[in-house]
Amino acid sequence: MHALVERLYPLCRSITGDGVRATLDIVGEYLPLQRHEVPTGTQVLDWTVPQEWNVRDAYVADATGKRVVDLAASALHVLGYSVPVAATMPLSELRPHLHTLPDHPTWVPYRTSYYRPDWGFCLSQETLDALPEGDYEVRVDSTLADGHLSYAEHVVPGQVADEVIVSCHVCHPALANDNMAGVAVAVFLARELAQRSPWYTYRFVFAPGTIGAITWLARNAERIERVKHGLVLACAGDRGPLTYKRSRRGDAEIDRVLRHVLAASERPHRINEFTPYGYDERQYCSPGFNLGVGSLSRTPNGRYPEYHTSADDLDFVAPEALADTLAVCREAFAVLDRNRRYVNLSPYGEPQLGRRGLYESLGGHADAGQAQLAMLWVLSMSDGTADLLDVAERSGLPFDAVAVAAGALEGAGLIKA
């Protein structure tokens, strides 16, 4: 996963353009993708697909011709969506177009101007402080023209048509944790799911932030009712503890599953309530859709100093953190896939389990008591309203033990999904 982040990291991306396509090309080496190109001007809900932006070169050069700010050194150096400019101007005129982080003088900020025509450069405060007065050559070789918004999907077929969406944004340049780490976890999660026969159909959405998710929602109105659960992956590789942000509903099944899995794992973690600020969970959870979509991060957006700066680099992303995020996704979807509601087919009194061979195999085993108790709990709560996660949480038993018990009881004809 870290090697994939390393490949994706340097690409100059934005919400549209060749950088997004190059990103999807690399993801496409790992997963078969269905690619989509949506023309500029397309109405998507309350938004319109913007013009496509591409930049070939951008720099500020001093009187000797030395490039003191250079896109070739980092994709962060140009203000995202900068309009073309070719001029020579004094530093006093250039200053309003230069963006720095005075509190972190060696870092370069990430800044954009998607929907307001502007141009500019991002540089370290240290570099700015060293610039002498005088004239500077300023060049942004970019195009802002009618084109397309690009996004892609990968589908892991399930046993049912009901879907789980896993969404991550592919628009940020030269930011390793936000969000190439999320992309890498999504890619490897999709590959793992393909190795088993999942219950749900899993749809992975690789799209630019905000406008990409809005475009997907606008173009998939007929599929929305099939989306039963969802997870946005972002900031998935830093060394902070895992953080789960609930869906807008607050009690969606994905919320319950992540809360249970994180608590049962005894990992350090946080559970945050929904807010309409953050990543694309706010689009999927908007009132008209109100999907059960939460967000899994390590340190959430805006909560670490390196966020949206050049310090969000390859060293900031830890392989072991990526592996841990993937493991939690694996555990969560294993619970989600097996979580069912059952009806007890012998609800009058306790059925005779021994006569059905459900006890004999347990005798003498260390976990026999737990397995027997799990069966009794499943039988007791199988009234068609409680699911296996309810059983696990009320009984205090591991979800796996409850799921195994349910399988045995179903096989004996005592419960029905």
Q: Which residues line the annotated binding site for Zn(2+)? A: 172, 178, 308
Q: Which residues line the annotated binding site? A: 172, 178, 308
299: left (phi over 0), alpha (psi -120 to 50) or beta: beta
Task: Name, in order, each residue with C-beta under 8 angstroms of 227's C-beta and a sequence gap of 6 or more.
Answer: 163, 164, 165, 203, 284, 291
**Amino acid identity, residue 377?**
W
Nearest one of 165, 154, 215 to 15, comparing CA atoms: 215
Q: How far is CA 197 from CA 108, 160, 193, 267, 388, in A?
A: 45, 11, 7, 28, 20
Classify burial at 141, counting beta carbons within 10 Å of its beta carbon; exposed 0-12, middle 13-18, buried 19 or more: middle
SS3 347: coil
Neighbours of 95 (CB within 10 A): 11
Distance, in Å, from the CA atom of 159 to the CA atom of 197, rounded to the nearest integer, reads 7
The answer to whether the beta carbons of residues 33 and 152 sit under 8 Å apart is yes
Task: Name, in order, each residue with C-beta under 8 angstroms of 334's C-beta and a sequence gap of 6 or more.
Answer: none
The answer to whether the beta carbons of residues 399 and 393 sit under 8 Å apart is no
